[in-house]
Structure 1
Amino acid sequence: MGKCVEDFKDAQGCRELVSYKLKKEIVLLQRLQHPNVIKLKGHCAGDAEGRGGEGGRVTVILEQGNPLQMIQLLQSPWEDRFRVCLDLVRLLHFLSQSPLGSVALLDFQPRQFVTVSGELKLTDLDDASAEETSCRTDADCTLQFPHRNFTLPCSAQGVCEGLSEKRNIYNAYRYFFTYLLPHQAPPGLTHLVDHIMNSTGELKADINQTLEAFENILLLYKSGLHLDNVPPSIIRDYTVMRGMGTSGNVEYRCWPSYSQQGCVLSVHSVKEAAYICNSHSQCNSFTLTGQKTWTGRLLASFRSSFSHLVPDGTSEVYVKKTKAPDTKEQTRQS
């Protein structure tokens, strides 16, 4: 409002413009109900004479969310970054076949989104458009981005096929996937992540194929099927103490961790936790507490050492077995 008045010096006109945009957003929020769209809790709109609201003022009450902080998200575990991207793809899949038709997000920026209990939600719909682009030839169906252009087919009905859908996919790629998906992806899933990056960055896949690829990664990640190359025998290297916790811990840091004070990572099973501990030179033990992430994976705390065990009915402590000295080395020393 302030920027509008500053630019056009017309307070009443700017008030009407803002009122129109809010009323449009109310209608869109009522029609586009989805888990990844912010919930409309209520609204109040009056007329110019003040009936029903002060001076025609429009008030909208939305579900409360936290602004999406990309810098903070970049420092989060891969699992949380993947969740944001998955939620976004589920949203775009809905928008591609919404009750209003295929909807394009014309102002596609991270600032248009919030998180509610870790779930991504679109909160700004005033620049959403379900308008189809008319065309005569394929040249009329060009998507222009700062570093790439794409030409889509002009249908026999004289509209650009899939223009809104492809616009959304590429914006998701350049604003979200590029920064959040590849880094620190689990080794068993990197080839699938690379495929998504290639197919969305080149617009080779539609939203149905993109959603299927994301859901496949989620299935593999939750089930632990991507860990087939980790031998079950790896847990024989550890002694387990159930119903116990640790005290006097000597922590070390790893990145990205669920704790800034130590190394806390999500694991599918004891087998994966043992594999991670073996890959960290500082790790000599880890604890599983039963705490879980949004995927149902367990949180494991890794440490260098601890002073003593304490009773804890919810925890299991796994300690690396001490290897016996080499007998040949003992003989040589004696």
Structure 2
Amino acid sequence: GKAHPDRMGCDSLVDMQAVEVLGSGYTKLVVRANLAGGQPVALKLVNEQGIDMSKCLEDFKDPRACRELVSYKLQKEMILMERLRHPNVIKLKGHCAGVQGGGGVEGGRAAVILEQGNPLQMIQLLQSPWEDRFRVCLDLVRLLHFLSRSPLGSVALLDFQPRQFVTVSGQLKLTDLDDASAEETACQTDADCTLQFPHRNFTLSCSARGVCEGLNEKRNIYNAYRFFFTYLLPHQAPPSLTHLVDHIMNTTGELREDINQTLEAFEHIVLLYKSGLYLDNLPPSIIRDYTVMRGMGTTGNVEYRCWPSYSLQGCVLSVHSAREAAYICNSHSQCSSFTLTGQKTWTGRLLASFRSSFGHLVADGMSEVYVKKTKVPENP
């Protein structure tokens, strides 16, 4: 019987349709598939054409034994997923020891069934609004915080690249646990505890019980800094939060703080950003320069572009309130009005669209249009 009644087994793979190969490596092949009921999943299978398999065949010339040997890596990863359950680790939906009757890529192979994610696109992220880039970094820090005190002890990700991650509905998830290691480094002196990176070396302390203090945790933090934070965090951060972002960049880049302190610094930024506390110095009167029409939208818009916008066609930005939107509109020379549509971002902030002008107002239950009052010249 199955340990988990809701777990998928081989029967759930009957009549599935493989859609595309998402990636292939030394050992594994990852396939995007739709199950018979239409549910999208990702399947990890042994890569028959992979380097591990061909090396084994060359040495032992026994396809069945080689397949079994290579599928151990898949099983190890599955056990790790089982033990390391967390919102930022890909969800294991089940497995099948040998897919029967599946023609083509799946025939007769062990398969791990996972929730389906989208590969992390660094180029796309670099062009995304700061809030989305911050979310990826925050998710990563939450994951590393968990890994530092996981059921297996402190876990290091030895192969730490954007390709190890996917996003599921905007949330970052680690999908490759192949190179996760909970091994501690034994030492006699601090000199045995050197962390080496291409452009930086750090020496950590050797603890009384003869292991390098926090080595796995520190390795993860510095890799997060060099592969993620450097590219995603500082760029276009809200001006009133830049000093806090700079602090994170300095402490992670110099390994001056542990993962608890790093997570605290991130959560502090989330709090300020969600609550709008960082807007304290905006005069409340700023909104009086605008006439508001509730339950209205606009047509015949003349858009202008701003960056980084949520829409490529016009200027759509995340704001805490109408007051912040008014402040932004005042700072854009082209802006004469903006609309709050009731659409929200992952932080619960509002999306505001700014424009130069519009043709007509139309009824739209959810929206509010704010139009800049024109200054009427006073008679002498």
Aligning the two structures, in what range does the TM-score lie when normalised by the shorter sequence?
A: over 0.9
Question: Of residues 268, 271, 291 in structure 1, which corresponds to 2:323?
Answer: 271
- Aligned twin of 2:193: 141
- Tell me the distance in 2 between the aligned counterparts of 1:225 and 1:142: 41
Which 10-residue stretch deviates more, 105-114 or 9-18? 9-18
1:104 is aligned to 2:152: no
| Structure 1 position 5, deviation (Å) | 4.5
Amino acid at match of 1:86: L
| Structure 1 position 6, deviation (Å) | 5.1
Deviation per residue, 1:277-300 (Å, 9 max, x gap): 011111110000111111000010
> Are the counterparts in 1 of residues 292 and 370 from structure 2 also a CA contact under 8 Å?
yes
- Tell me the distance in 1 between the aligned counterparts of 2:367 and 2:121: 33
- Aligned twin of 2:338: 286
Aligned length: 321
- Aligned twin of 1:49: none
SS across alignment from 1:134:
coil
Amino acid at match of 2:52: C
- Aligned twin of 2:123: 71
Equivalence map 1:1-334=2 (5 Å) = 1=47, 2-5=50-53, 9-10=58-59, 12=63, 15-45=67-97, 57-325=109-377, 327=379
Amino acid at match of 1:25: E
Q: Which has the higher helix share?
A: 1
| Structure 1 position 58, deviation (Å) | 2.0
SS across alignment from 2:298:
strand
| Two-structure CA RMSD over aligned residues (Å) | 1.6
Gaps of 5+ in 2: 1-46, 99-105
- Tell me the distance in 1 between the aligned counterparts of 2:52 and 2:152: 29
> Are the counterparts in 1 of residues 229 and 249 from structure 2 also a CA contact under 8 Å?
yes
- Tell me the distance in 2 between the aligned counterparts of 1:209 and 1:130: 21
- Aligned twin of 1:332: none
| Structure 1 position 308, deviation (Å) | 1.1
| Structure 1 position 54, deviation (Å) | 7.4
SS across alignment from 2:231:
helix
- Tell me the distance in 2 between the aligned counterparts of 1:162 and 1:303: 51
> Are the counterparts in 1 of residues 52 and 70 from structure 2 also a CA contact under 8 Å?
no
Q: What is the TM-score when the length of structure 2 is the normalising length?
A: 0.82
- Tell me the distance in 2 between the aligned counterparts of 1:227 and 1:76: 23
Amino acid at match of 1:144: Q
- Tell me the distance in 1 between the aligned counterparts of 2:336 and 2:181: 56
SS across alignment from 2:328:
helix
- Tell me the distance in 2 between the aligned counterparts of 1:20 and 1:152: 34
SS across alignment from 2:52:
helix
| Structure 1 position 3, deviation (Å) | 2.5
Gaps of 5+ in 1: 47-52, 329-334
Identity level (%): 85
- Tell me the distance in 2 between the aligned counterparts of 1:281 and 1:305: 12
Q: What is the TM-score when the length of structure 1 is the normalising length?
A: 0.93
